[in-house]
Amino acid sequence: MWPTCGEPHRRTPLTGDMGVNLAIVLLLFPAWAYLIASAVAVRRFAQRANSVSSSRISPSPPFRGEREGPAKRESEVGGTRNPQVGPAHPALSPRLAGGEGKAVSMLKPLHGDEPDLYENLRSFAEQDYPRSQIVLGVNNLRDSALPVAQALARDLPAYDIVVVVNSRIRGSNQKVANLENMIEAARHDVLVLADSDMRVDRGYLSAVTAPLCDPRTGIVTCLYRGVSTGGRWSELGAMHINFGFLPGALVADSLRLGGGCFGATIALRRETLERLGGFVRLRDELADDHRIGDEVRALGLAVVLSPYIVEARVCERNLAELWRHELRWARTIRAMAPAGFAGSVLSHAVAIAALAAAATGFALTASIFLVISCVLRWATARVIANALGIPLARPWLLPMRDALSFAVFVASFFGRTVFWRDQVFHVEASGRMTADSEKAQRD
């Protein structure tokens, strides 16, 4: 029966629902494509990493000994040097020693005695490399990381280990201030900067310094996979790295959109750092690793992504720590690459599908899209886990992780303050940060 002139037109499935479903599809298809692309990118990168590692000497097993107590040796502000330099590893060939086997100084800025810190630092000290030095730095004598650094120097007398204690701070970024103090103790022309929560095997130094033999290479950097130190929140933090950050970085790199430079490893020649003017330009930068990559590219040099993947030890103790950490990451990325960060909404396929289903009252078609998104998310996570050699997350944790990631993404647009190293900072649109003393007092 045809409606009369006075009878309102009723929406039919072909007029109303079709438009809604089309809108949902236009959002979800790119998100599904992203999920597939991320799994493919991680698998290809892992295959490349395996082919490179198979040509190196098999790494020695990680340190399994008990952590010894704090060192009882004398130290003074300004630096403590272990006088003995470790000999070259007898099985190391020149080819595996970073091309010409140039001597390397590793700089490890420290802040606090985080879980597994001793074992992390020891993995960097015990390298199959002919000539290396490791410089460990803290900003004050009361830092709980200092006894750990001194213990390492005491326990490994055959290695060149320097402990620097210097309270001089120039700029808002205390990590960069620490590096400025430490560089004075670095003796070699090849420098490797790495965060304190990373762990590596004995072939790491050879792998990350080899590309520096090419004068066109300015920096070598590494991606990292997350390893939980225990607990639900640490596990969720590791999942963010493994199923969010790392795949996204590889997709961006494959599309030549990333330009990433990561604090997990930054290897460069001292000459390159001097051409940048040292660490001065990074003093007030929140994303100091990203900024140094940009500065090196501005010199016409390449930032090379090494196939070596380091391990990040994730030790979030509660939801508040995890939230603050990930919100700082998100707001940092938003400040450095706002367009790319906004586009990363496509990485939240399950959240988009769930919101669409809820908006339609869980209509049949929208619900089917949600099921497809969940299955695709689980399948690609399985591919990524197998490629990285990590256990697949428990099924109920993956939706929880996705919901938390989407909440952080949304929250990142509401404010410019971040919490880092026990301080609150305000981040400008340029990525520069200033200490927010009033906020710190309120918190």
Distances (CA, A) of 281 to 135, 172, 177, 423, 432: 22, 12, 11, 21, 10
168 has pLDDT over 80: yes
From the list 149, 105, 145, the residue with the least C-alpha distance to 127 is 105
Instruction: Measure Cα distances from 296 to 191, 251, 377 in Å.
Output: 14, 22, 36
Residues near 152 by beta carbon (within 8 Å), at least 6 away in sequence: 118, 121, 122, 125, 136, 161
Which tokens in the block code for residue 38? Answer: 């991320």
* 344 compared with 340, residue with greater pLDDT: 344
Beta bridge partners of 313: 227
Residue with tokens 């939706």: 399
Measured distance CA(10)–CA(33) in Å, rounded: 36
- Cross-strand bridge partners of residue 136: 108, 163
Report yes or no: 23 and 355 within 8 Å, Cβ to Cβ.
no
Residue-level pLDDT at 433: 58
Residue in 185, 193, 65 with CA at minimum distance from that of residue 122:
65
Residue 5: how many other CB atoms lie within 10 Å: 4
* pLDDT at residue number 199: 95
Q: Give the mean model confidence (pLDDT) for residues 415-442.
A: 61
Q: How far is the C-alpha of 41 from the C-alpha of 275, rounded, in Å? A: 34
Contacts by 140-147, CB closer than 8 A, 24 or more apart: 140/165, 140/167, 141/77, 141/165, 143/110, 143/111, 143/112, 144/112, 144/113, 145/110, 145/111, 145/112, 145/113, 145/114, 145/117, 145/196, 146/110, 147/70, 147/71, 147/113
Q: Does the pLDDT at position 384 exceed 80? A: yes
pLDDT at 153: 95
End-to-end CA distance of the chain: 67
Sole residue written with tokens 């995890």: 322
In this prediction, residue 194 carries a pLDDT of 95
Residue 300: name the closest of 321, 318, 276 by CA: 276
Residues 101, 172: Cα–Cα separation, whole Å: 36
Per-residue model confidence (pLDDT) at position 53: 60
Tokens of 188: 């070699």
For residue 153 the two structure tokens come to: 């120097």
Domain regions of the chain by residue span: 74-316
SS3 435: strand
Q: Is the model's pLDDT at 182 over the cut of 70?
A: yes
The answer, yes or no, to whether residue 249 has pLDDT greater than 80, is yes
Q: Does the pLDDT of residue 97 top 50, yes or no?
A: no
Q: How far is CA 140 from CA 30, 89, 121, 156, 378, in A?
A: 49, 34, 19, 23, 46
What is the C-alpha to C-alpha distance for residues 36 and 58, in angstroms, rounded to an integer?
32
Write out the H or E segment, with its range, that includes residue 310.
strand 302-314
Mean of the per-residue pLDDT values of the chain? 81
Alpha-carbon Rg for the chain, nearest whole angstrom, is: 24
pLDDT in tens, 276-307: 999 988 888 878 888 899 899 999 999 999 99
pLDDT over 70 at 28, yes or no: yes
Q: Is the pLDDT of residue 124 over 90?
A: yes
Q: How many residues in total does the chain contain? A: 443
* Contacts for 247 with CB less than 8 Å, ≥ 6 apart: 38, 39, 41, 42, 384
Unique residue bearing structure tokens 């015990």: 126
Q: Which superfamily does CATH assign the domain made up of 74-316 to?
A: Spore Coat Polysaccharide Biosynthesis Protein SpsA; Chain A (3.90.550.10)
Confidence band, pLDDT 50/70/90 cuts, at residue 336: confident
SS (H, E, C) 379-417: HHHHHHHHHHCCCCCCCCHHHHHHHHHHHHHHHCCCCCE
User: Rounded to whole angstroms, how far apart are CA atoms 291 and 427?
Assistant: 14
| pTM assigned to the model | 0.80
- 251-276 confidence digits (pLDDT tens): 888 887 766 889 899 999 999 999 99
Q: Answer for the pair 225, 234: CB distance below 8 angstroms, yes or no.
A: no
